[in-house]
Structure 1
Amino acid sequence: MPEYDMTDLLSVMSGQFVNDEENMTMLASEPCGPLKGIRIIDLTSVVMGPFATQILADLGADVIKVESPAGDTTRNMGYRQHKGMGSNFLHLNRNKRSVVLDLKTPEGREACLALAKTADVFLYNVRPQAMARLGLSYEAVKAVNPQIVYAGAYGFSDNGPYAGRPAYDDLIQGMTGIPALYSQHTGLPPRYVPLTMADRIVGLQAGIACLAGVLESRQSGQGQSIEIPMFETMAQFVLNDHLGGATFEPPKGEMGYSRLLVEPRKPYQAADGYVCVIVHTNKHWQRFLDLVGRPDLLVPGSVFESVESRARHVNQVYGFLADMILGNTVAYWVETLAAVDIPVAPLNQVEDLLEDPHLQATGQIVKMVHPTEGHLRTVAPVGNYSRTPPGIYRHAPNLGEHTEEILREVGFMPESSPPRET
């Protein structure tokens, strides 16, 4: 573990760190978001679970990240200054406290149950069978805290034939047809979306499930076990768009949302780059066709006449739009289409987001100083709350940084214990 000065660390954690650099964001002194007072024991790792608890922590929940002695594998993913503090980990685990427990030992298990006794949520993302082998099944955790929300986010429901299979983002994307949709749309070989999309969508669902469970538990006085399976979550996500004609019995047509699947639906090539344009409503099309000197195309019986007609001839409609866009520059289309209230935007590269004027004005990209990792850039919590704003009040923790602090809080470590070597 990298060495750091304890005085500097404590001053940063209390919001008193002073840095003279312009635009450096200060830590909030303590959480004040709407979830203040909710405690979450987080046994998750990698992306899906940590993304769920990062959002809950940003909103003020006290998230205690339980790690093995080896630490979350994400600690060593991506660029890093020091071992165990990779860029992915830094973004996913801010506002959390880290405690190291070896759950394969009796002492580690008892310490984990002591934490669970004080918590509202116990979230894990390994298979339920693995939790049972550790002695941390729902029944075991419920025995020490009947009101706890015991939430499992993993690959497949335990009620189906795929139960217990390993699952990763790529596999779930593939099993729910996302690479096939890409191929159908582009005519190219299948490929995964270049985001941890399944992990993050299921992470959002896990966060919602945890909050729903806490709300019900506080009303009823009883906890419950909640399952958040990746495959089912992403199948819902895909099928809501693409059930199409199979919505009805008997089917009224093919599956698929045609507007999303046509080849011309993509950023349009202009004379000097690419531009993103949505010409969708009747008013949009009337304005666009006036702009390009083709109002005659709105005559009765034209493919442009109505939403229904455009949907039936979607390839022809989008093909015409693509041909028109090619005749002028990106700047021309952004200015001209915006002037007539047609949705338009330039095609950004990922790097452009760091200098985007709107993200800068809203404070979405923030610069901070981590006590061991130095100057960092990260993304602010999303949303504006008039009374209980989310915030960043803790940096991502070093491995086991809060072990003694947390175990003392739950009475598992005597106050007279000597400090652990770091």
Structure 2
Amino acid sequence: MVRSATKGQIFEIDDMLAPILTEQQSAALEGAAMASFDFSSDAILAAAAGQTGLSDFGAMDFVERLDLWCECVREDKFLSPVSHAALWTMFVRYAADRLRVEDICKRHPEILAIEIDRPIIVAGPPRSGTTHLLGLLSADTRLRSLPWWEATAPVPTEADTPTADDPNPRWTRAQAGWEQQDALMPLFKYMHEFSPDHISEDIELQALDFSSYLLEWMALVPKWRDYYLSHDQSGTYAYLKKGLQVLTFLKGPNRWVIKCPQHMEQLPVLRKSFPDATYVITHRDPVGSIRSTLSMWLYASRILRTKSNPEEPKGYWIERYKTMLERCVRDHDCLPAEQTVDVYFHQWIKDPDSILHEIYAKAGLPLDSDVLATMHQYHADNDPGVKGRVMFNLERDFGLTADDIRKDFEFYFDRFPVEKEVK
């Protein structure tokens, strides 16, 4: 159901529990079911080597993690054929991009000496405004950021050479992928856009080491979650830095703005990996963030899973948020106060400029009227309220009230002055 609004359309998804598939969705599921995939590390690495003509993956400790990713995919019995095709393509892409990263570093060893100078790093719970904040900061061209078209193909190949007909083949491929996703899940763009120019999370670089919480968004993988949370992520954050060095070598500058919600539960590793960073931590009523995550999962399940069951995201993501926020409460003080800005959602929506000034002051960057005007223009062009938004309904879709969720997060409200947002 769609309702008009003064700023933009409001979408209400009223078939969450019993999805009515479009012809395109049904056709995509039928077509994907005709393919089969060997989810094993041997098959994925062989496919990546065949694509690239390369064979050196660097340190091979990642294979243990890739093996577990594959095992978790095989064990999730409710993944749809579309999910299997998407995950296979993704795993091979990450392995191929790792080969290309290792190859360019061998050919240009000076890459590993490149300084990543005082990055601005945004972290916060998923669905707490981190994406929009990252986009605002990336509008400042003094900072290097990671658009989606580059995140999905960080090292260009010979096939990516610009031509008169296609000045950026990597952008063109990303656009084709975005159009395909939009056709299958047309309301997803109002929740999280994946257009070629949107600024990506740095999780795409961590995935080259086959770690991070990325897989948790694609499948139900408690075995991977437990492994990830119990293993030191220093190696993967080192690979993230390596990816940033490669991208800086290919196109500067070397002062980055990056973000990933996962950093919120990895603050000690983040601090060790990027000790001179400015850390920007966003905070929001967990109910608002969780409501959005549960609804995104359930909406996508019509195409990514063989059933739309609200118990799946309820049983996984509420507890997952709790773990993330518990770790943030536990570790927040490892960040130097003079390098850290805590951004509260209720303050951000009222007075973003003062918060931007604070971020820039701690980052040691001047924020003049011209840069601020550029950010204002970015906001005007990307304001979710103008583009349209999806209305979420906890009680109808999940049988939950805000208080049902919030009661488990008093520890977070006790530590940070977060305002209750969802009634």
Normalised by the size of structure 1, how large is the TM-score? 0.21
Normalised by the size of structure 2, how large is the TM-score? 0.21
Structure number with greater Rg is 1
Question: Which structure is higher in strand share?
Answer: 1
Q: Which has the higher contact order (CA 8 A, sep 6+)?
A: 2
Question: Which structure is higher in helix share?
Answer: 2
